Amino acid sequence: MELVLDFVLIVGFVINLTILVVLYKNKHKGFHKKILFFIFCTILISIIHSYGFLHKNQLLFYSTFIIENSITVYFGPLLLLYIYSIFLPSKNLLRKNAVHFIVPFMYVLVISTPLMISTWNKEYLFNYLEVIFNYIDFISFYSLVYCFIGLKVLKRANVIIHHYYGNTDSIDIQWIKKVLLGTITIIGINFLFFLIELILGELPWNPYYLVSACIAITIGYLGYQGLFQSKVLLPIFLLQDHFVLKEEHADLPISNQTKKSRNYQEDEMEELQSVLYSLMEHKKVYLDPDLSLASLAELLTISEKKLSTLLNQYLNISFYNYINNYRVEEVKKQIQNPHNAQYTLLALGLESGFNSKASFNRIFKNFTGNSPSEYKKQVLQQGK
């Protein structure tokens, strides 16, 4: 058991250190990358602490004690801050979210530090430590709550992304969801063993080893995906209206929220709709796989907010659905054209504005109820 854990910890240490070096050398050090770097620093310290505990190395054990002992308190808020840093402007972001770290700070001050000194002296520094020591794992619920908040934020962000981008395959935030679920699982395993020991007494083997191994294994996935996570550029007005300020309507689709405030001029919207229709039908700008709300607004020489109003309020459709509807219709035309028989379906999809096979198949089926190959079969049967 000790050899297996030793191997896992060493592998985790090497992977973690490699990720830190890559992050440090990254030329584009956005605020979200800096937070990710700090997250991996804390995980690395936790691995070193586990190694010191396993091999009874007092220097490694005590030098990393406070950070490792309090990780279940600050890790949840830290992940949430990282999620915010991907979507929100970095200016004053840390200051605005400092309140989430008050409890972790107090925990370090009142529990972790005195507990480390007590462990060193082999007697409790304060009487209250002896009382709370057996129930200290309940504090992990603090991070657990923040993980669930993070999942809710990601769900809300996904709604906004689909109202701003036509192709979303390059915006991979699903890995962060898996990280949150992984963290919830690790906290759950740790708490489960705590309850077992509370009811049945001390186990013959230390469950701390298993939890440490889970953390070491999890960082591989977290690190690989996190290195490639870029900041998701969303317009400030959408962030303010639907991501931060309107918490009470966060679960509603954006189109439903905006119906409540008809702040457009009918004549102006009709004129814009006509210009937009001409741009789509004649210039076929939807063929550009990188087309976004911002780039389309620039072609129309209007603001992003006005284009969003036109689509979401006046036409009652999201940018994502509006653009991809044209792309699907384009693919259908290309399939029906006998001159395109020699081309693959994927080639036709990419030519029509889709940026990957997965998005092409998924979106086409969502709009038509059939996969591209099923639709082509129907067209061929009708032509006989």
pLDDT on residue 259: 43
pLDDT on residue 243: 47
- pLDDT tens digits along 114-170: 999 999 988 888 888 888 877 777 888 899 999 999 998 888 887 777 777 777 665
**Which residues have C-beta within 8 Å of that of residue 28, sequence separation ≥ 6?**
none
Q: For residue 225, what pLDDT band results from cuts at 50, 70 and 90?
A: low
Q: What is the DSSP letter of 244?
A: I
- pLDDT tens digits along 260-280: 445 568 888 999 999 999 999
* Short-list 76, 243, 80, CA closest to 158: 243
**Which residues have C-beta within 8 Å of that of residue 326, sequence separation ≥ 6?**
280, 284, 286, 353
d(CA 74, CA 142): 8
CA end-to-end span of the chain: 68
pLDDT on residue 263: 55
Phi, psi of 82 (to 5 degrees): -65, -45
Buried b (16+ CB within 10 A) or exposed e, 326-336: bbbebbbebbe
Q: What is the DSSP letter of 229?
A: P
Average pLDDT of 105-118? 93
Q: For residue 231, what pLDDT band results from cuts at 50, 70 and 90?
A: low
Q: At what angle do helices 31-54 and 208-226 cross, to 10 degrees?
A: 150
pLDDT on residue 348: 94
In order of 72, 274, 304, the CA distances from 164 in angstroms are 36, 21, 9
Q: For residue 91, what pLDDT band results from cuts at 50, 70 and 90?
A: confident
Q: Which residue has the tokens 């520094």?
A: 125
Buried b (16+ CB within 10 A) or exposed e, 122-150: eebbeeebeeeeeebbebbebbbebbebb
Tell me which of 54 and 352 has the higher pLDDT. 352
d(CA 13, CA 17): 6
Q: Measure CA 133 to chain center.
A: 34
The listed range with the strongest mean pLDDT (23-27, 35-39, 174-178, 191-195) is: 35-39
Tell me which of 257 and 226 has the higher pLDDT. 226
pLDDT on residue 1: 61
Please, which contacts does 254-262 make with residues 24 or more away whose CB atoms are closer than 8 Å?
254/159, 254/160, 254/163, 254/312, 254/318, 255/312, 255/313, 255/316, 255/317, 255/318, 258/309, 258/312, 258/313, 259/313, 259/316, 261/313, 262/313
State both tokens at 86. Answer: 């991907």
Mean per-residue pLDDT over the chain, rounded? 81
CA–CA–CA angle 203, 220, 193 (5° rounding)? 15
- pLDDT tens digits along 317-348: 888 899 999 999 999 999 999 888 889 999 99
d(CA 45, CA 284): 54
CB atoms within 10 A of CB 55: 12
pLDDT on residue 235: 56
Q: Write a three-state SS string for 289-341.
A: CCCEHHHHHHHHCCCHHHHHHHHHHHCCCCHHHHHHHHHHHHHHHHHHCHHHC
